[in-house]
Amino acid sequence: MTDPAPARHFIQQIIDADIASGKWGTPGDRTVVTTRFPPEPNGYLHIGHAKSVCLNSGLAKEFGGRFYLRFDDTNPAKEEQEFVDSICADVEWLGGEWHGPVRFASDYFPQMYEWAVELIQKGLAYVDEQPHDKIREQRGSLTEPGTPSPYRDRPIEESLAQFEKMKSGGFPDGGAVLRAKIDMASPNMNLRDPVMYRVINKPHHRTGSTWHIYPMYDWAHGLEDSIEGITHSLCTLEFENHRPLYDWFINAINQDRGPGSKFGEKIHHSQQIEFSRYNLEYTTMSKRFLKLLVDEKHVEGWDDPRMITVAGLRRRGYTREAIRNAVIEAGITKYNALTDFTKLENALRDDLNTRAPRRMGVLDPVKLVITNWGDHGDPSRLEELPAINNPEDESAGTRPVKFGRELWIERDDFMIDPPKKFFRLGPGREVRLRYAYWVTCTDFDTDADGRVTEIRCTYDPQTRGGDAPPPDADGNVRKVKGTLHWVSAADCIDATVRLFDRLFTEPRPGKRTGEILDDLNPDSLKTLTGCKLERSILKPTPDEPAWPDGIRRFQLERLGYFCFDKASTPDNPILNRSVTLKDSWAKEAAKS
RNA sequence: GGGGGAUUGGUGUAAUUGGUAGCACGACAGAUUCUGAUUCUGUUAGUUCCAGUUCGAGUCUGGGAUCCCCUACCA
The C-alpha atoms of residue A366 and residue A414 are separated, in whole angstroms, by 9
Q: Whose C1' is closest to the CA of A354: which nucleotide?
A: B38
**Looking at the domain assignment, is residue A186 inside a domain?**
yes
SS3 at position A177: strand
| Catalytic pick among A23, A154, A266, A287 | A287
A364-CA/B25-C1' distance, Å? 31
b/e per residue A239-250 (b: at least 16 CB within 10 A): beebbebbebbb
In window 241-260 of A, residues with CB < 7 A from nucleic chain B are: 241-242
Q: Whose C1' is closest to the CA of A137: which nucleotide?
A: B71
The C-alpha atoms of residue A318 and residue A192 are separated, in whole angstroms, by 45
In window 497-556 of A, residues with CB < 7 A from nucleic chain B are: 555
Same domain, A87 and A98: yes
Same domain, A114 and A30: no
**Looking at the domain assignment, is residue A421 inside a domain?**
yes
Same domain, A228 and A376: no
In window 79-98 of A, residues with CB < 7 A from nucleic chain B are: none
Q: Whose C1' is closest to the CA of A238: which nucleotide?
A: B69
| Catalytic pick among A23, A30, A40, A165 | A40
Whether the CB-CB separation of A319 and A351 falls below 8 Å is answered with yes
Phi, psi dihedral angles at A591 (to 5 degrees): -65, -35
> By C-alpha distance, which of A196, A173, A268 is closest to A225?
A268
In window 3-32 of A, residues with CB < 7 A from nucleic chain B are: 7-10, 13
In window 259-318 of A, residues with CB < 7 A from nucleic chain B are: 276
A396-CA/B32-C1' distance, Å? 23
Query: What are the distances in angstroms from CA A441 to CA A425, A427, A438?
Result: 7, 5, 10
A587-CA/B27-C1' distance, Å? 12
The C-alpha atoms of residue A536 and residue A559 are separated, in whole angstroms, by 17
In window 123-162 of A, residues with CB < 7 A from nucleic chain B are: 130-132, 135-136, 139, 141-143
Same domain, A159 and A198: yes
The pLDDT assigned to A591 comes to 76
Indicate yes or no: strand B within 7 A of the C-beta of A202: no
Among the candidates A434, A467, A485, a domain finishes at A485
**Looking at the domain assignment, is residue A351 inside a domain?**
no
A134-CA/B69-C1' distance, Å? 25
Same domain, A90 and A129: no
Three-state secondary structure string covering A138-167:
HCCCCCCCCCCCCCCCCCHHHHHHHHHHHH
Q: Is A417 exposed, middle or buried (0-12, 13-18, 19+ CB in 10 A)?
A: exposed
Indicate yes or no: strand B within 7 A of the C-beta of A173: yes
Whether the CB-CB separation of A348 and A436 falls below 8 Å is answered with no
**Looking at the domain assignment, is residue A28 inside a domain?**
yes
- Report the nearest residue to nucleotide B15, CA vs C1': A7
| Catalytic pick among A61, A122, A257, A277 | A277
Whether the CB-CB separation of A125 and A181 falls below 8 Å is answered with yes
A287 catalytic residue (yes or no): yes
The pLDDT assigned to A86 comes to 96
The pLDDT assigned to A476 comes to 84
The pLDDT assigned to A2 comes to 42
The tally of CA atoms less than 13 A away on the side-chain side of residue A57 is 21
Indicate yes or no: strand B within 7 A of the C-beta of A582: yes
* H or E element that contains A71: strand A66-71
The C-alpha atoms of residue A326 and residue A329 are separated, in whole angstroms, by 5
**Looking at the domain assignment, is residue A58 inside a domain?**
yes
What CATH number does the domain containing A305 carry? 3.40.50.620
**Looking at the domain assignment, is residue A290 inside a domain?**
yes
**Looking at the domain assignment, is residue A365 inside a domain?**
yes
Same domain, A238 and A386: no
Instruction: Give me the number of domains chain A comprises.
Output: 4
A580-CA/B42-C1' distance, Å? 27
The pLDDT assigned to A1 comes to 36
Among the candidates A485, A503, A523, a domain finishes at A485
Domain containing A517: what range? 493-591
Indicate yes or no: strand B within 7 A of the C-beta of A380: no
Same domain, A98 and A187: no
Same domain, A532 and A545: yes
Q: Whose C1' is closest to the CA of A131: which nucleotide?
A: B73
Q: Strand B: which positions are within 7 A of a protein CB?
A: 2-8, 10-15, 17, 22, 24-28, 34-39, 67-75
The pLDDT assigned to A410 comes to 98
**Looking at the domain assignment, is residue A347 inside a domain?**
no
A312-CA/B56-C1' distance, Å? 54
A425-CA/B34-C1' distance, Å? 16
The pLDDT assigned to A5 comes to 65
The pLDDT assigned to A80 comes to 85
The pLDDT assigned to A374 comes to 97
Same domain, A371 and A403: yes
Same domain, A90 and A233: yes
Q: Whose C1' is closest to the CA of A437: which nucleotide?
A: B34
Indicate yes or no: strand B within 7 A of the C-beta of A238: yes
A276-CA/B54-C1' distance, Å? 35
Among the candidates A293, A308, A339, a domain finishes at A339
The C-alpha atoms of residue A556 and residue A358 are separated, in whole angstroms, by 6
A5-CA/B46-C1' distance, Å? 23
What CATH number does the domain containing A115 carry? 3.90.800.10
Same domain, A16 and A72: yes
Q: Whose C1' is closest to the CA of A173: which nucleotide?
A: B73
ipTM summary value: 0.96
In window 382-441 of A, residues with CB < 7 A from nucleic chain B are: 390-392, 421-424, 432, 434-435
Per-residue model confidence as pLDDT tens for chain A (592 residues): 345 567 899 999 999 999 999 999 999 999 999 999 999 999 999 999 999 999 999 999 999 999 999 999 999 998 889 999 999 999 999 999 999 999 999 999 999 999 999 999 999 999 999 999 999 999 999 999 999 999 999 999 999 999 999 999 999 999 999 999 999 999 999 999 999 999 999 999 999 999 999 999 999 999 999 999 999 999 999 999 999 999 999 999 999 999 999 999 999 999 999 999 999 999 999 999 999 999 999 999 999 999 999 999 999 999 999 999 999 999 999 999 999 999 999 999 999 999 999 999 999 999 999 999 999 999 999 999 999 999 999 999 999 999 999 999 999 999 999 999 999 999 999 999 999 999 999 999 999 999 999 999 999 999 999 999 998 888 888 999 999 999 999 999 999 999 999 999 999 999 888 899 999 999 999 999 999 999 999 999 999 999 999 999 999 999 999 999 999 999 999 999 999 999 999 998 887 6
Same domain, A380 and A465: yes
Q: Is A32 left (phi over 0), alpha (psi -120 to 50) or beta?
A: alpha
In window 37-66 of A, residues with CB < 7 A from nucleic chain B are: 38, 40
What CATH number does the domain containing A578 carry? 2.40.240.10
Query: What are the distances in angstroms from CA A447 to CA A10, A429, A529?
Result: 64, 22, 21
SS3 at position A343: helix
